[in-house]
Structure 1
Amino acid sequence: MGTEQLIKLIINTAYEVRSHLVAGYIESVYKKALLLELGEAGLKVEDEVELPVQYKGHVIGNFRADIIVEGSVIIELKAVAHLLPAHEIQLVNYLTIAEIDNGLIINFGAAERLEIKRKYRVYTPHI
């Protein structure tokens, strides 16, 4: 499956979860449902992947990526009223450290609708 097909499948799966779990739950509830759905779709999913933060050759801490799908897409989940620029920066940092090119922020907390943003480790516009 290509990256674009995988991204579409993840997004459709998130909408499926949202159709059953409206806004108001904590992030871990949406995460468990999304992990279940992605696994049932036959995808390889990794939960709470530790990403070491290095500074001058020393590991000084760790990030935890919520979900990595097929080793090629990082999903950062939120259950907040609105996404903030800091959430986008967080995901780009994860992508950089993990050397993964594509990521999605999926916010289940917005009352009106599911909020999804796609981020890239390195953005290259299509010409």
Structure 2
Amino acid sequence: MTENDVSKIIVDVCYKIHIRLGPGLLESIYETVLCHELIKRGLKVERQKVIPVFWDDLVLDIGFRADLIVENKVILEIKSVEEVSPLHFKQLQTYLKITHLKLGLLINFNSELIKYGIKRVVNNLYE
């Protein structure tokens, strides 16, 4: 399964969650339900995964945590905010570079329509 195949499933699940729960709940609710729904679909999901930074012989645990990593291919950063800031994109770009993964989705469930709340962030992904 490619990154794009995984992301199609994720987007579909996000749509179904957003239709049922609507916008504006706490991030933790969306994260928990999304994790549950992805696992139900047979996907491997890691939740609140620590992302260390490696430098020479050092392993720096500086507090980076990915909300969800799906199939070890796509990082999900989940938000429920009025407006996504450039800092949220930078956070996801950092996680992608450190992990060498190629695709991340920044998902803001506090959007009127979920299609406006999902942004793709790529790191050397060739489609």
**What is the correspondence of 1:1-127 to structure 2 with a 5 Å cutoff?**
1-54=1-54, 57-58=57-58, 59=60, 61-110=62-111, 112-114=112-114, 115-122=117-124
Q: Which one scores higher on RCO, CA 8 angstroms, separation ≥ 6? A: 2
RMSD: 1.6
Distance 1:61 1:14, change over 3 A: same
Structure 1 runs, 4 residues or longer, greater than 2 Å off: 53-58
Which deviations, in whole Å up to 9, do the C-alpha atoms of 1:24-53 show, x marking residues without a partner? Answer: 210000011101110111000000000013
Whether the 8 Å contact between 2:66 and 2:77 is mirrored in structure 1 is yes
Whether the 8 Å contact between 2:51 and 2:61 is mirrored in structure 1 is no
List runs of 5+ in structure 1 lacking aligned partners.
none
Looking at structure 2, the residues matched to 76 and 12 of structure 1 have their Cα atoms a distance apart, in angstroms, of 16
Whether the 8 Å contact between 2:103 and 2:125 is mirrored in structure 1 is no
Q: What's the TM-score once normalised by structure 2's chain length?
A: 0.89
Q: Which has the higher strand share?
A: 1
Amino-acid identity (%)? 38
- Count, aligned residues: 124
Whether the 8 Å contact between 1:83 and 1:107 is mirrored in structure 2 is yes
Whether the 8 Å contact between 1:101 and 1:121 is mirrored in structure 2 is yes
Whether the 8 Å contact between 1:54 and 1:61 is mirrored in structure 2 is no
Q: What's the TM-score once normalised by structure 1's chain length?
A: 0.89
Which deviations, in whole Å up to 9, do the C-alpha atoms of 1:94-127 show, x marking residues without a partner? Answer: 01111111110010012x2220000012365x6x
List runs of 5+ in structure 2 lacking aligned partners.
none
Looking at structure 1, the residues matched to 72 and 92 of structure 2 have their Cα atoms a distance apart, in angstroms, of 15
